[in-house]
Structure 1
């Protein structure tokens, strides 16, 4: 049954939606040319790498941004420009890549992000902040859960997560055609849904979503905010593709992330 396909379709409901990936890639390449980024490996898989950029002076801590794409597409190559705001504010910023479905199930992808954060924690001292968009919002929320695949010492340094337009309840995705690739079953959908899991006590969370997003994404954001009792910002006029732009410069979203 794939009756929820339109609920979770974004590009078709955004004017010029198909142009955004090319625009992101161009902005990301321009950022790479301006700032030196290190490409580091955190695991043995082909996509087990991270791009890391350091600030001009000593880093205030580690800010990690996880890309979206429904666990099916994209990579940091299209999103490095999102590091601009946190880097300018004095943070080391990393963007991890991860294995895509169907080569990895969502449980395995969660484990890869845990491995990436653990590796990065060994490269950069100080507090750790995580932000992620869409599927990346799911992944950073999972890092804030009690059962997150993080070493205890790394989990203790995680102070804040900002899931942006997150997928927090994965059960509805079983009713989309993309599940032919994701291969979610009921058990995994529940076990990997942050909205059904307990947040670690020492981590704050601020959920962010665009006011012009699909009702399904507004519902997903509210679901996580209500489950965890954490702040929810619905940014007026923003849709699923431009809601992340606040990470590139001083903005309320950037403040929620690193202030």
Structure 2
């Protein structure tokens, strides 16, 4: 078996929470992914022309804006995709191309920005994404589906929890962080500022799923063990299906969103 990225892996220590949640060090060519995402996203927006409504404000803060991508005909409903980056990296402009699969199925796609750490706590991000979802629900009639990747998967899952009221039909968190307790021991917590109280109130795995919302957890089968544990933990706590996508790692598990015939897109939309 080939050594996957051994030249950039952190030194082994056990236990090591930072290593548990390191993705790029275990993915060959990891540094090439963000510029590739950004180039594909820019080309997608340009090709969509007037059907890409950019930087629509859903609140007063600088990052409280979303991009709305419209299908060729009247939308059958809407999907909200929440980007990841451990709550402190990236922005909505990196991911536009991931709307392609759902858009081809006749659904509008919204991609919200949100205030990142350390400027905002995770609880504030949850409130912002809920506000963005309400904006989309008032703009686009029909079923509302929410998904997101990694930290965005966490925020997507939060939209289906019993403490949030949204007209939500289905949630499909992709590679989500669902139990935040372990992240308190990582060095990134200097930015996130998670404490015991917020870990409890913001962990979807500790919160109930609203009974009217259908849920399906998605994760790459080749992801870090911590992410497989996070995904399965939520599926068990919510008693919902989960899929470990064969041979997919943390950076390419989202690629299926570009394909309208993929099982991931079918899981998001069928039989809406």
Give the Cα–Cα distance (whole angstroms) in 1 for the partners of residues 73 and 212 of structure 2. Answer: 28
Q: Does 1:38 align with 2:53?
A: yes
Q: Whole-Å Cα distance in 2 between the matches of residues 5 and 176 of structure 1?
A: 5
Say which of 195, 202, 220 aligns to 2:212: 202
Alignment correspondent of 1:243: 253
Counterpart-to-counterpart distance in 2, 1:76 and 1:115:
16
Match of 2:73 in 1: 57
Q: Does 1:109 align with 2:122?
A: no
SS in 1 for 2:223: coil
* Paired residue secondary structure (2:218): strand
Partners of 1:224 and 1:119 in 2: CA distance = 27
Distance in 1 between residues matched to 2:264 and 2:146, nearest whole Å: 13
Structure 2 alignment gaps of length 5 or more: 1-14
Aligned-partner Cα distance in 1 for 2:104–2:91? 22
Match of 2:97 in 1: 81
Aligned to 2:4: none
Shift of 1:121: 1.0
- Structure 1 segments, 4+ long, off by >2 Å, are none
Task: Name the structure 1 match of 2:174.
Answer: 164
TM-score normalized by the length of structure 1: 0.96
* Aligned-partner SS, 1:35: helix
Aligned to 1:185: 195
Question: What is the rounded CA distance, in whole Å, between the counterparts of 1:74 and 1:5 in structure 2?
Answer: 19
CA-based RMSD of the aligned residues comes to 0.9
Task: State the alpha-carbon separation in 1 of the partners of residues 60 and 39 from structure 2.
Answer: 28
Q: CA deviation at 1:122?
A: 1.2
Aligned equivalent of 1:129:
145
CA distance in 1, matches of 2:206, 2:48: 40
Match of residue 69, structure 1, among 85, 89, 96: 85
Report how far residue 3 of structure 1 moved: 3.2
User: How far off is 1:38 after superposition?
Assistant: 0.7
Shift of 1:162: 0.4
Q: Which residue of 2 aligns with 1:90?
A: 106
- Tell me which structure has the larger Cα radius of gyration: 2
The answer for unaligned runs of 5 or more in structure 1 is none
CA deviation string 1:91-131 (max 9, x = no partner): 01100000000000000000000000011111111110011
Question: Paired residue for 1:252?
Answer: 263
Question: CA–CA distance in 1 between the matches of 2:125 and 2:16?
Answer: 26
Give the secondary-structure state (helix, strand or coil) at the position aligned to 2:81: strand
